[in-house]
Amino acid sequence: MGNVTRASADVQVSPVSQEMTGPRGPKPRTVLSRRNIMIYGTLIMVSLYYMLPLYVMIVTSLKGMPEIRLGNIFSPPVEITFQPWVKAWAEACTGLNCDGLSRGFFNSVRILIPSVLLSIAIASVNGYALANWRFKGSETFFTILIVGAFIPYQVMIYPIVIMLREVGLYGSLTGLVIVHTIFGMPILTLLFRNYFASVPQELFKAARVDGAGFWGIYFRIMVPMSLPIFVVAMILQVTGIWNDFLFGVIYTKPDLYPMTVQLNNIVNSTQGVKEYNVNMAATILTGLVPLTIYFISGKLFVRGIAAGAVKG
């Protein structure tokens, strides 16, 4: 309380009245401040930039060919038609087969499900063993595994062709599943190891005192605690394997081509006119699976990344 020494009464402000009239409660905020305009302006611009291609694709896939030939790619369809979608799914021809993308879709599913389950099952046990059961040479083993993540795929393509041929799996879905499982191993093991390493050691010790063994601790303590990281691993694998083109085209044969390869064959078929609407529909159909996975598990994905993946 600074005491006011000046004589005039009007200068004197008693501390009480200041308390009554001064700012109180939450500070008022302006909605259209320059800062907000900047932030939201940028965000809207960027999202438009990213959304526009998707818009063009959807719009085009709903148009008939005559409308597309007008060349106005941004205009909404005058006459909405789902024929391109039907054609893309069930009728488009690749080579001799004229059953559209559906064959590729089911091939991809048959590749995806075992690859994802197998790679996650193995990698999570790997990560658990490396994080909690430090055995002799575990660090070396881990280093080798990580180095594996940096070796370019191209180096291994031919050796794997030979190996698969020797065991009679070349050109089969089983062979491709094995390849996907192996290639997912380094990054998934790293992911799981780091996550399990962030689980308090004392929990693991308590479980050992309680008489749980290697598998008991894994299934009853670690797995139930680690849902977020399993979701992260699942998303990585689903998108990675679904979007894979290279391994699919190399290690399988035309009857068993995954959806991505089939999409390429449809889009790049040189016979006849380019059916942009069918191509667009086929592309969206192919991208639908990873997209769905993202939407369903987005929240868990973020949590898992935040919880374990960044910690070394």
CB closer to another protein, 207 vs 285: 207
Q: How many residues bind another protein (CB under 8 A)?
A: 16
| 109 binding another protein? (CB under 8 A) | no
Shortest Å, Cβ 279 to another protein: 48
Residues 144 to 203 in contact with another protein, rule: CB under 8 A: 200, 202-203
**CB-based burial label for 157 (10 Å; 0-12, 13-18, 19+):** middle
Shortest Å, Cβ 50 to another protein: 38
Residues 240 to 279 in contact with another protein, rule: CB under 8 A: none
Contact criterion met (CB below 8 Å) for 175 and 164: yes
Question: How would you label 22-54 residue by residue, b for 16+ Cβ within 10 Å and e otherwise?
Answer: eeeeeeeeeeeeeeeeeeeeeeeeeeeeeeeee
Shortest Å, Cβ 198 to another protein: 13
CB closer to another protein, 106 vs 214: 214
3-state percent breakdown (helix, strand, coil) of the chain, nearest 5 = 70, 0, 25
CB closer to another protein, 216 vs 290: 216
Shortest Å, Cβ 214 to another protein: 11
40: its two tokens: 């939201």
**193 to 212: interface string for another protein, x by CB under 8 A:** -------x-xx-xxxxxxxx
| 15 binding another protein? (CB under 8 A) | no
Cβ-based neighbour number of residue 301 at 10 Å: 18
Contact criterion met (CB below 8 Å) for 280 and 84: yes
CB closer to another protein, 210 vs 255: 210
Interface segment toward another protein; rule CB under 8 A; list 111-119, 182-190, 215-223, 283-291: 215-223
| 133 binding another protein? (CB under 8 A) | no
Q: Which of 225, 291, 296, 306 is close enough to bind another protein by CB under 8 A?
A: 225
Residue 269 sits at φ, ψ, to 5 deg, of -65, 135
CA distance 127 to 104: 33
Interface segment toward another protein; rule CB under 8 A; list 15-23, 216-224, 233-241, 299-307: 216-224
CB closer to another protein, 26 vs 211: 211
Q: How far is CA 151 from CA 154, 183, 184, 272, 282, in A?
A: 9, 10, 13, 41, 33
Contact criterion met (CB below 8 Å) for 226 and 300: no
CA distance 132 to 74: 56
- 3-class DSSP state for residue 159? helix
| 52 binding another protein? (CB under 8 A) | no
CB closer to another protein, 68 vs 199: 199
Which of 118, 88, 120, 83 lies closest to 101 in space, CA to CA? Answer: 88
| 303 binding another protein? (CB under 8 A) | no
- Which stretches of the chain bind another protein, using CB under 8 A? 200, 202-203, 205-212, 216, 220-221, 224-225
